[in-house]
Chain A
Amino acid sequence: MSFISNMKKDRELMLNKIGISSVEELFKDVPAGKRFPEVVMPQALSEPEILQALSRMSAKNASAECYDWFLGGGIYNHFVPSVVGALTSRGEFLTAYTPYQPEVSQGTLEAIFEYQTMISELTGMDVVNASHYDGATALAEAAIMSVRSTRKRNTVVVAPGLHPEYLEVIETYLQGLDIQLTFGEPDDGTAGYIIQNPTFTGEIIDVKAEAEKAHEKGALLIVHTDPIALGILESPGACGADIVTAEGQCLGVGINYGGPLLGIFATTSKHIRKMPGRIIGETIDQCGVKGCVLTFAAREQHIRREKATSNICSNQGLAALSAAIYLAAVGKSGFKKVAELCWHKAHYAAAEIEKLEGFSIKTKGDFFKEFLIETPIPAEKIFGNLKEKYIMAGLPLSRFKDGNSNEMLICVTEVNSRKQIDRLVSALKELIL
């Protein structure tokens, strides 16, 4: 079976109508010497067999619900309400294509229009696109857009504090383009100035001051942020950001071994024609009834081809839908509460860890839900030891190039109870006794 409904009898009837005697005749344009090769693959599995095989593979992986989980580093264990999966798995959302025919795609169109509205509220920006592959590719496209939006400038400056793997993705994206990537402060040749807030190691930075720095030099300020933090922190738009990107995985998308993620991308009205990605707009039909359509499409690859603002076509539509449903589900007060729970729990954890002999908090100034600690023994050792106790302690920075082996990034979210935090702290204490 291959999920095919036509049987031998159907096929014979169809071949007859076409006027040929075998399916093979349909492939006569394929070079004869290369036609019908042998393909070696494991034997096909039935449904019960595949379910058993994959359940066993799944069981070989650590998974967040079985642990006291403090591992983040850009992908976070936030709560995903049951209602999100229940609604996104409806076939009408799950198995629809990109909404090119608006009369029969209003479900997807309206939902993404809601997503644009909610992300606009969070970020304080005018225009939100219908998503990128992840936060890192959204940021890379923001860097490219900054060069397109500023005349005669081709340098993008990255401030300290950017996630090292985000930087790798930006470098990949820029390798073929005439764009220089530098580090430090913006100058008169800077098109875009990238900051991450909170930084990779958790520090909250003064976005307003960074915006002034960028604008003084005529550069665009690109802010990469954590959407959950925006339940408390001032929006990047209010601080003067020109482009905002974020990883939206925390908004009901889940962890998924790092994918699908959700690349959030927002900018100001002024830059709409330079921005990549799909945009949904409201309009009216012939009878004056309101509805949504894909709009500003003249920027996109299917129309502008080599002059398009990006090559992006498929995006992370269903993840954007998850984010919309998540934000609508938690609602205005719930969203603030999630952010505040993260804040208080993370600060409680940091205060308790700091009391331990040999441990100290390395994140300077304010932090939100994630902070860096210095450890008296190699962090990787702590990770391995606590894993045995069903505690995922954090992210050892030695996993990254030039990372200090005695530093670990710890993340605390609304799903971590005080009991879990206390267990982490006593496990750390036991380690050094």
Chain B
Amino acid sequence: MSNLWKISGEGRSAVYLPELDVPETAVPQKLRRKEEPKLPEVAEMDLVRHYTNLSRKNFSIDTHFYPLGSCTMKYNPKVNEVTASLPGFRNAHPYQGDKHSQGAIELLYNLQNQLSAVSGFDETSLQPAAGAQGELTGILMIRKYHKEKGDLELRNKILIPDSAHGTNPATAAMAGFKAVEIPSDDHGNIDLAALKNECDETLAGIMITNPNTLGLFEENIEEVIDAVHAAGGLVYGDGANFNAIMGIVKPGELGFDVMHYNVHKTFTGPHGGGGPGAGPVSAGQLLKDYLPGPIAVKEGEVFHLKQPVKTIGRMKLFYGNFGILVRGYTYISMLGAAGLKDVTENAVLNANYLKALVKDSFPAAYDRSCMHEFVCRGDIAEGIHTLDVAKRLIDYGFHPPTIYFPLIVPEAIMIEPTETESRETIEAFAEALNKIAEEAVNAPELLHNAPASTGLKRLDEAGAVKNPVLRY
């Protein structure tokens, strides 16, 4: 590790601050900290080298194919970075007043409309900061709806398919609901009989990711939604996989009541090594008045920010991760409706092509045509685990796919190539996977010892918990 403190020297700095130009006011001694924070002290060039060299230890979309399932690691256009740093966006303050923020609010208003148009909902709030916060938003909206109808006491459970992301049950718990797991059937769909069994007077709602985390479109989606509605429950859509259905089907028309998007997945906000994302939420007639806000409205030619009438409240400060929303708006505006449909068609085609290229060495866990991603297994030979396959892919110059998820497929490998990858890249990746399958039989040590090409080998994760070192 390259420790910045080790190259520090007293008094060095990379910032040129103004000199004090007003009379001093003494700081009372009782307020002063006894020990100054030990920050590094380096000159600008050393700082730049340090972080530039650190960055080079990362795989990223800009440097490598990065087929993480359910993460939609598509190319992030550079124009986004230019628009997000326009001064009236980057240096506008949330308290400067609507009158002096007309351009920013107009952008929010237009983006709300774009999202509602492609998803088939009535109203959109851009406030949630990420997918998980979008989920919490939707479930709190469902909660408030039942509360106002007076049956929240009774309706205390949220159904969650066993293929769902961990954020779904964690969200249900944070909103005060009991999470009840629904099994999948042998086609990878929600098990209808099990679902109907839970559709009773205690049902508050269901969280559905469609296509699900197996990359499969729920074949019985309308029946599932009807069953939940008939029992008085509401339907939440987890939009993590929205890249698979733009222009193909509108969740609002399928009967979903509320749904979130991941701007950092579908709409090219950069992932930033973990965030920030943006998780806007759209709702239909039943729930739109419960959206968090403020949201942008237009009266005549003037834009305002307003709280919806029955709002669940503020999910976070201000109007969402605005800088990420600017990027999403840039992208959607450049693509338009036809461009978004192209995105989906190519994403789904790429996934099916890759699935076909590796079908002999890594057969898909479910033998159906997939949407934007597919799931296979990594235990392809005696003594070989998914982790070994994943680490060996690094030696071939590819970031590993998502592994050990979804939980319902043992030794799962979840591959999402996205639409921005070329046919040649997908073929090169498939060739690597097919070679690894041969190595798994003929030279398994290559997999067990992988990665061999990186500065660091496999790390001791148990040691990190037993003897925690959480700072320099």
Contact = CB atoms under 8 A, between A and B. Distances in A.
A255 B130 contact: no
B87 interface: yes
Contacts of A313: 130-132, 165-167
A180 B219 CA distance: 43
Given A280-B470, A310-B174, A40 B273 contact: no
Interface centre among A133, A172, A421 (most CB of B within 10 A): A133
A97 B273 contact: yes
Interface string B249-276: 1100110000000101000101111111
A118 B39 contact: yes
Contacts of A293: 459, 461, 464
B438 interface: no
Contacts of B95: 71, 73, 75, 395, 399
Interface in A18-73: 18-20, 23, 25-31, 34-37, 39-47, 50-51, 53-66, 69, 71, 73
B285 interface: no
Interface residues of A, number: 204
B197 interface: no
Contacts of B166: 300-305, 308, 313
A133 B129 contact: yes
A259 B132 contact: no
Interface string B57-90: 1111111101010010111110101110111111
Contacts of A235: 33, 35, 37
A166 B111 CA distance: 26
A396 to B, nearest CB: 9
Interface string B436-468: 000000000000000100111111110111001
Contacts of B31: 204, 232-234, 366
Contacts of A259: 129, 276, 316-325
Interface residues of B, number: 205
A26 B352 CA distance: 8
B314 A94 contact: no
Nearest to B172: A306
Contacts of A25: 369
B154 interface: no
Given A71-B93, A169-B316, A337-B17, A234 B456 contact: no
A308 B166 CA distance: 9
Interface centre among B51, B103, B139, B454 (most CB of A within 10 A): B51
A325 B338 CA distance: 41
Given A39-B250, A57-B104, A176-B176, 5 more contacts: A95-B62, A106-B456, A120-B470, A257-B322, A330-B13
19 contacts: A4-B419, A5-B423, A39-B250, A39-B341, A61-B104, A86-B48, A92-B55, A94-B270, A95-B62, A101-B390, A166-B317, A178-B176, A269-B468, A278-B274, A285-B456, A329-B13, A329-B44, A331-B14, A392-B93
